[in-house]
Structure 1
C-alpha cells in the first residue's frame, strides 16, 4: 500500500508477486494491493476517514504471519502507518519501502529499506527496483518449495 506514486508501485509489486513468481506445481503467492479498489477507498475515506482506508481493508484480509508492505517516500503517511500498526497488533510481519530518512515508519515496521535519493522521483525509482528484487527472490523461494506444498489450485 502507498499513496500517489507509491500506490502505483504497490499495484505493480502485487502484480509481479502473483504472476512473476508462478511455477507449475508449486505454491502460489497471494498478494493484493490495497490501493486498487477505488470505490472502496473512497467509501472508507468519505464515511470514516482517509487515514483508515488501508487498515479497514486489512480487517477483511489479514491473517496471522501475513506480510504487509507499506511504501512511502516520506515515511509519514498516516493511512499507511495505521495499517502497519494494525498488522503488527494482529501478528503480521511488516516491511517498509521508505524514502531516504525513513520518517516515522522506520520505527514501526519489522524491516525496512531506505531508498537513496535526493528527490521523490529517485526514491520511487529505487522502490520499484527493490520491488523487482523482492519478486525475483520470492520466485527463487517458490521454485525451491516442495512440489504441491500449499497449492490451492491444480491445473489439469
Structure 2
C-alpha cells in the first residue's frame, strides 16, 4: 500500500455492503413469518423453522464454492454475482405464491449469497497484517448488527 493511495476502508465499502446484503438474507423472512403462517394455514411449526434454516444450510456449500470460484475468476466478479443473485432471490421470495416457491428462493439465495468468505479474502488482499484485524472486525460487526435486529424482531413477537 502506498502513501497517498486510497485508504483500505474506502476500498472495502462495497465489500461490507455485500456482506450486509448477504447477512440480511438470513433474517429477511423473520418479520414476515406471522403473515407467512396466515397465508399458508396448513404451515406447521417445523416448516416455518425450515423456511429460516434452509438459507443457512444452503450457504455452507455456497460459501465453499464461491471461495473457490473467486480464486479462479476474481473476487470482484463473485461479489457482484452474489449481490445480483441475492437481489433476484429476494425478489422471487417476495413474489412467491406457494410455500415451496419460498423455500426454493431461500435455498437459491443461500447458495448464491456466500460472500462472507470472499469478503474476508478481499480484506486479507487489501490490508496489511497490522490493519487486518480491524477490517475483519468490521465484517463481524455487519453480521452482528443484523443478527441483533433479527433477535429483536423475534422478541417483539413474544
Normalising by structure 1, we get a TM-score of 0.30
Q: Which has the higher contact order (CA 8 A, sep 6+)?
A: 2
Between structures 1 and 2, the one with greater helix share: 2
Q: TM-score, normalised by structure 2?
A: 0.29
